[in-house]
Amino acid sequence: MSDSCCQTSQASECCSTDGNVMLLSCSGGSNVGQLANQACLELTQEGFGKMYCLAGIGGELSGFVRSALDVPKVVVLDGCEVGCAKAIFKKAGVPLRGHVVLTELGIAKNKDLNLKRDELDKVKTAARQASQGQS
């Protein structure tokens, strides 16, 4: 996807949040990375917000970065304390808002990719709470 995505007719598909919460997640190779990703997917399907491309911000593509700067509500899910999503925001110069670290929710990081419903529900609840108070 080119940097022009957010400057063309595709902008409504890849960069618009339509006034909802912008949802971004770590998608790392562990249970917590996959939980973060799945939580964003389900929240999007439920109409809570819209999943967004963290890689576009990481690649410092201007339209993606501008959208992250301009959107009123953001929830960023990092699987663990390594904080890859947090580092992406810092490098791109985007203030970090609505940040949730899944291991800080009491979810142990491991390589079991059979996601547990109770953990997924815990992440979704935390994401909803993280959006509170943002304008």
Side-chain-facing half-sphere of 108: CA atoms under 13 Å:
3
Residue 10, domain member (yes or no): no
pTM score of the predicted model: 0.85
Residue 76, domain member (yes or no): yes
Q: What is the domain range of residue 68?
A: 22-131
Residue 17, domain member (yes or no): no
- Number of domains composing the chain: 1
Strand segments (E) across the chain: 21-25, 49-51, 74-78, 99-101
Residue 53, domain member (yes or no): yes
What tens digit of pLDDT does each residue of 58-85 get?
Answer: 999 999 999 999 999 999 999 999 999 9
Q: Residue 130: which residues within 8 A CB-CB, separation 6 or more?
A: 75, 98, 99, 100
DSSP 102: G
Residue 4, domain member (yes or no): no
Residue 84, domain member (yes or no): yes
What tens digit of pLDDT does each residue of 5-30 get?
Answer: 444 444 444 544 444 799 999 999 99
- Tokens 């390594």, residue located: 82
Residue 9, domain member (yes or no): no
